[in-house]
Structure 1
Amino acid sequence: MSFRRLITGIAALGLTSILLNVCGPRLLGHTTDLIFSGTLGGDRRRGIDYHAVTVTLAVTLAVYAVSGLCWILQGRLTTRVIQHAVSALRQEAGTKLSRLPLSYFDRQQRGEVLARVTNDVDNLSQSLQQTLSQVTNSLLLVLGIIVMMMWISPLLAVIALVTVPLALLGALAVGRRAQPQFARQWQSTGELSAYVEEMYSGHALVRSSGRGPDAVREFGERNRALLLAGFRAQFLSGLTQPVMSFVNNVDYVLIAVVGGLRVASGTLSIGEVQAFIQYAWQFSGPLSQLAALGNVMQSGVASAERIFEFLDAPEETPDPPASTAPPQPRGRVTLENVSFGYEPGRPLLRGIDLDVPAGRTVAVVGSTGAGKTTLVNLLMRFYEVTGGRILIDGADAAAMTRHALRSHFGTVPQDTWLFAGTVADNIAYGVSRLVTREEIEAASRAAAADHFIRTLPDSYDTVLADDGAGVSAGERQLLTIARAFLADPPILLLDEATSAVDTRTELLIQRATERLSAGRTTFVIAHRLSTIRKADLILVMDEGAVVERGTHAELLALGGLYARLHAAHAGRGTGTG
């Protein structure tokens, strides 16, 4: 069923329920008049007309039963609409994550992003579930009650309504003060989530460096900020209910006094006054309900603002409508006067020219911040070049879809990433085609990972914990290399990751990466200069520019920056000797 039909059904059921509900007090008032007339009124000689009373009560019971049934059906449809809408919102948020540029995540804490996609969406769902149908029904009920009260007694209706503007003004004043506090509450929630995520992911370092008490103290400060924001938001929004209750009590007093005088003068019957008092009670109920839901609505609005701020974040430039990717990529990479900067006028990379034939190995070295990782990110189009262009086998990378471009690359990052799943699933992750267990095992053997995998409790079916907990750093790196073997890309990007492993594992990783690089165009971000002696070309970067290029022997003979870096590494026992 379409959303339009669902909304129409919700409106029809709500309207039917409200119309029947507002008829109930009038029918009960008529019943009271029948009983009063048969006992104390003009018809007391004939007695109570039990048949008329029975019929009226039966009609009243049926009215309330149908009204309740419509209310239940409306609630079911409303829940369906809300859950489908929130599911679509989650889907849009998940899709948004894949369209955001890498620079967005460079500026945002991961925990803050996760809080917007999970906590804020859940809070918005709960807020809509609690308020949408109730707010709509309350407004319709108020309108129907006003019509019935005006029908019974315009004077009493005016008395009942005269205090409503005061109540609404009070509720609006409270709401304006509470709304910023709810926004601050959910901002503090996101900040606390981000801090917990950071401290948990670095738990071992926090404990080993003795920063545990500092982390606890920082958590306490952020938790207290959330406490204060939540207290202010809930306290201010909670003031609405006492204001509405006071107004309702004033209404009851005025209606009781004036209604009694009208009965004494014969203008109204007791049943009409009874019905009016019921309407007054029903009238105050929706208003009090709206006031009580004020904090829920304000909390939902605050979450909605955070969600739509995330959804409105600038996205990556759209892919071209048709890709110009070469049909049979070989791996030639060309950079023509490539420049890049995060901000206009502040270039990070400047005028890089490079032509790498297929099958060659290029090592990129330089000090921290020289632009090595940025250059690799440009090849993968995680960032867009601000000047020049990058060609893959003669095709402009900017004219290719990102999926087509990245299918040419295989990466072995320094920071390995594994997910909660089997070893086989982790190795096969990122491979667009269907792979067999034999192919996975063959890739593992090529990466020297097969032996340790078979020592795991369930071999390739062993379920790894989140982020690969349970296997060592070197073993995680071997699994990442096996993943690259399985993908079989024409171009390989290696971010060396042997600095934190033992000597034996380092040799295994080096041999596996050498086998993986054979016959492929390979870019190596070199941290240990001893690993790049055999590179066909070494680029030396400094402050965003390629300052030297050549083979290992040529650069040593040049006696420039590379020679100084090599001497420094050799002095620490990590050079080539």
Structure 2
Amino acid sequence: MVDKNKTAQPVVETSALKIYLRLLSYLKSYRLMFVVSIVGFALYATSTTLFIKILENLINIIESNDPQDRFLVPLQVIGLTVLRGIGAFAGVYFLSRVAFSVIHSLRVQVFNHMTRLPSMTFDDQSSGHLVSVITYNINGVTAAATDAIKILLREGLTVVALLSYLFYTDWKLTLVFILIAPLIGSLVTTVGKRLRRLSTKVQTTVGDITQVTSEMITGYRVMRSFGGEDYEKQRFEAASKKNYQQNMKIVVTAAANTPLIQLIVAFAIASLIYLALNVMELGNPAEFVAYMTAVGAMLQPMRRLGEVAPIILKGVAAADSVFTLLDQAPERDEGTREVSRVQGQVSFRHLYFHYSRSDRPALKDINLDVAPGEVIALVGRSGSGKSTLVNLLARFYDYDQGDICIDEIPLADFRLANLRQQIALVNQHVTLFNDSVAGNIAYGSLTDRDMDAIRRAADLAHATEFIEQLPQGFDTLIGEGGARLSGGQRQRLAIARAILKDAPILILDEATSALDNESERFIQAALESVMQNRTTFVVAHRLSTIERADRIVVMDAGEIVEQGTHAELLAKGAHYANLYSMQFRDEPQDVNNIAE
């Protein structure tokens, strides 16, 4: 017996610094370009400081009135401007390449990780919030990885260069100026914590907006049929207004941050000017002007550095959600067993399972042995556990207790990809992609199949006739979710995909639910040939599908309550007979000659 008890992990808030350092760790692959960008910004900062030295030289030249030195300052200005331009371009260009490469790597990593997450993740989180992680949230990370680092390097190195000049000129007076640093740091920390909380709330509201929009677009027919336009408008307006309110809180907090820092710096400069005029020991007016110019030149980069904290902390909040998703454990795949093709014997042994958000078990003590090639029909009321049982067979979920074996091999012993190669699945809710008809039939691991095999699968699914009537036949693009096809046509493409896979185990989960009676007659004939020599599980409500099963398994409240053939179960007059009386008695009984 395999024990798969799940334990909840405590939620621990990671520090902003730790998250940001993790984000910066993605820079390791681009070290050379990052170093070049730092050198570029260092040139920019050095040339900015040297401009102040030129000013000092200019004042001295004016005082000395020496004509031989009058060409020196213009040449210095041109040379430093060229140097500054080269530094600025190299810094911005190479840092942008690094940053967008990091974002690309992160986005691809998140998407790839999503493809391996357990089904429970997609059940517990709405599609809108998952989509917002890979779009909006990663865009927030972009700002932290591009704008913030650019400001930190360019303005930070400029401040360092100017401070170095000030210390060189008069270190005592400069110490007075930098006493404001702890006060600014305390302000930035307080504002930063609030911004991180607000940014997290904004991301949640963006997920709500995405979710409402996605539901309206995918369910627009239901919305229009039931007059839900006003309801959807109100839902969207409420979600958008909440997003607006949270964004405005961020704007107010960030906008107040910069003026407060400027006010603190202004008081420091005023004190500095007073002390400079009364205490400063400078040799001449040129040094005094250059010193105060350097102090003034620091205001702009310091103001820009004050803007870095909001940008970084918004990015940290975005990165936190991204890393939280990346840290979720993927599907368990610890098996080592690989087989080319199983025989198809399936055993369910004392199987228990419950969904993460439900206290009531979805399956209780399921015991069922299925022989290779046997067709099993699973019937029961809605919520009885039919679809859950077949989902466990494909290991979309890990069961809590008991085991499922194929050819006496527990599912956990198979490599996950190898296990799913043995199973073909057709769901009630057909999933098609914005690709050609042929691309949708030969999807995923089937892309290496040739057109002859694709056509044979379409023939068996009775899909060729409508496919050939499409504008480009098998090359026709069918739109998002197969929007240009009818429900029956979409279902037949899904069946053709399962036929092409040619797996030894076939799961039909309401596979004919979207078909009209005429289409179903053809599909039933196709399925009969497909089900030959395959172990088949059929979750169905239609009598035409159920009657032809080798065995009917009746489920109720997560338990198997009856097994037998159609005739045997009717004769019992119990659960199946009641279901038959309620659901099947009005169905046409002309299914015996479907193949003709």
TM-score normalised to structure 2 length:
0.89
Aligned length: 563
1:428-452 deviation line (CA, Å, top 9, x unaligned): 1134451122221121111110011
Amino acid corresponding to residue 562 of structure 2 in structure 1: E
Q: What pairs up with 1:17-56 in 2 under 5 angstroms?
A: 17-36=44-63, 38=64, 48-56=65-73
Q: Is the 8 A contact 2:333 2:416 kept in 1?
A: no
Counterpart of 1:471 in 2: which secondary structure?
coil
Match of 1:269 in 2: 284
Distance 1:409 1:420, change over 3 A: same
Counterpart of 2:72 in 1: which secondary structure?
helix
Larger mean Cα displacement after TM superposition, 503-512 or 93-102: 503-512
- Tell me whether 1:516 sits opposite 2:516 in the alignment: no
- Equivalent residue in structure 2 for 1:128, among 128, 134, 145: 145
Cα deviation for residue 164 of structure 1 reads 4.0
Amino acid corresponding to residue 350 of structure 2 in structure 1: N
In 1, Cα distance between equivalents of 2:514 and 2:427:
14
Match of 1:298 in 2: 313
Distance 1:318 1:11, change over 3 A: farther
Match of 2:106 in 1: 89
Larger mean Cα displacement after TM superposition, 107-116 or 87-96: 87-96
Match of 1:283 in 2: 298
Cα deviation for residue 353 of structure 1 reads 2.2
Match of 2:7 in 1: none
Cα deviation for residue 462 of structure 1 reads 1.0
Cα deviation for residue 255 of structure 1 reads 4.4
1:498-531 deviation line (CA, Å, top 9, x unaligned): 3444221222332222232122111100122342
Larger mean Cα displacement after TM superposition, 329-338 or 560-569: 329-338
Amino acid corresponding to residue 311 of structure 2 in structure 1: V
In 1, Cα distance between equivalents of 2:491 and 2:223:
23
1:15-64 deviation line (CA, Å, top 9, x unaligned): 3443343233123212212212x2xxxxxxxxx22333422442343234
Counterpart of 2:71 in 1: which secondary structure?
helix
Cα deviation for residue 150 of structure 1 reads 1.9
In 1, Cα distance between equivalents of 2:393 and 2:488:
26
1:331-375 deviation line (CA, Å, top 9, x unaligned): 222222222233598532222222222211011111111111111
- Equivalent residue in structure 2 for 1:310, among 315, 325, 329: 325
In 1, Cα distance between equivalents of 2:325 and 2:197:
18
Larger mean Cα displacement after TM superposition, 8-17 or 105-114: 8-17
- Equivalent residue in structure 2 for 1:6, among 33, 48, 52: 33
Amino acid corresponding to residue 272 of structure 1 in structure 2: E
Amino acid corresponding to residue 38 of structure 2 in structure 1: A
Match of 2:338 in 1: 325
Distance 1:431 1:511, change over 3 A: farther
Q: What pairs up with 1:411-490 in 2 under 5 angstroms?
A: 411-432=425-446, 434-490=448-504
Q: What pairs up with 1:348-363 in 2 under 5 angstroms?
A: 348-363=362-377
Q: Is the 8 A contact 1:481 1:512 kept in 2?
A: no
Amino acid corresponding to residue 332 of structure 1 in structure 2: Q
Q: Is the 8 A contact 2:339 2:418 kept in 1?
A: no
Counterpart of 1:99 in 2: which secondary structure?
coil
Match of 1:403 in 2: 417
Match of 1:550 in 2: 564
In 1, Cα distance between equivalents of 2:264 and 2:295:
12
Distance 1:2 1:345, change over 3 A: closer
Q: Is the 8 A contact 1:326 1:395 kept in 2?
A: no
- Tell me whether 1:533 sits opposite 2:547 in the alignment: yes
Counterpart of 1:239 in 2: which secondary structure?
helix
Distance 1:447 1:530, change over 3 A: closer
Q: Is the 8 A contact 2:36 2:90 kept in 1?
A: no
Larger mean Cα displacement after TM superposition, 16-25 or 197-206: 16-25
Q: Is the 8 A contact 2:107 2:138 kept in 1?
A: yes
Q: Is the 8 A contact 1:124 1:301 kept in 2?
A: yes
Larger mean Cα displacement after TM superposition, 88-97 or 294-303: 294-303
Counterpart of 2:444 in 1: which secondary structure?
coil
Distance 1:180 1:318, change over 3 A: same
Q: Is the 8 A contact 2:258 2:307 kept in 1?
A: yes
Q: Is the 8 A contact 2:439 2:447 kept in 1?
A: no
Match of 2:194 in 1: 177
Q: Is the 8 A contact 1:391 1:397 kept in 2?
A: yes
Cα deviation for residue 229 of structure 1 reads 0.4
Amino acid corresponding to residue 3 of structure 1 in structure 2: Y
- Equivalent residue in structure 2 for 1:216, among 233, 237, 261: 233
- Equivalent residue in structure 1 for 2:351, among 335, 338, 341: 338
Counterpart of 1:170 in 2: which secondary structure?
helix
Q: Is the 8 A contact 1:171 1:243 kept in 2?
A: no
Match of 2:399 in 1: 385
Cα deviation for residue 497 of structure 1 reads 4.0
In 2, Cα distance between equivalents of 1:450 and 1:389:
41
1:194-252 deviation line (CA, Å, top 9, x unaligned): 11111211111011111110110111111111110011111111111212332344445
In 1, Cα distance between equivalents of 2:483 and 2:459:
22
Amino acid corresponding to residue 339 of structure 2 in structure 1: P
TM-score normalised to structure 1 length:
0.92
- Tell me whether 1:364 sits opposite 2:391 in the alignment: no
1:166-212 deviation line (CA, Å, top 9, x unaligned): 34433333333333222211111111111111121111101111111
Amino acid corresponding to residue 359 of structure 1 in structure 2: G
1:60-98 deviation line (CA, Å, top 9, x unaligned): 432342233123212222112111211111121112112
Match of 2:126 in 1: 109
Match of 1:207 in 2: 224
1:135-173 deviation line (CA, Å, top 9, x unaligned): 133223222222211222235424433444434433333
Q: Is the 8 A contact 2:436 2:475 kept in 1?
A: yes
Match of 1:43 in 2: none
What is the percent sequence identity of the aligned residues?
29
Query: What is the alpha-carbon root mean square deviation over aligned residues?
Result: 2.3
Amino acid corresponding to residue 285 of structure 2 in structure 1: I
1:385-426 deviation line (CA, Å, top 9, x unaligned): 222222222332211111100001111111001111111111
Counterpart of 1:364 in 2: which secondary structure?
strand
Cα deviation for residue 262 of structure 1 reads 6.5
In 1, Cα distance between equivalents of 2:468 and 2:116:
38
Q: Is the 8 A contact 2:461 2:495 kept in 1?
A: yes
Cα deviation for residue 258 of structure 1 reads 4.5
Match of 1:151 in 2: 168
Q: Is the 8 A contact 1:181 1:233 kept in 2?
A: yes
Q: Is the 8 A contact 1:529 1:576 kept in 2?
A: no
Q: Is the 8 A contact 1:262 1:268 kept in 2?
A: no
Match of 1:568 in 2: 582
Q: Is the 8 A contact 1:498 1:506 kept in 2?
A: yes
Larger mean Cα displacement after TM superposition, 306-315 or 406-415: 306-315
- Tell me whether 1:160 sits opposite 2:177 in the alignment: yes
In 2, Cα distance between equivalents of 1:251 and 1:127:
29
In 1, Cα distance between equivalents of 2:182 and 2:341:
74
Q: Is the 8 A contact 1:234 1:295 kept in 2?
A: no
Counterpart of 1:327 in 2: which secondary structure?
coil
Counterpart of 1:421 in 2: which secondary structure?
coil
Point out where structure 2 has 5 or more consecutive residues left out of the alignment: 1-27, 592-596
1:81-124 deviation line (CA, Å, top 9, x unaligned): 11121111112111211221101111110011010112111221
Counterpart of 1:522 in 2: which secondary structure?
strand
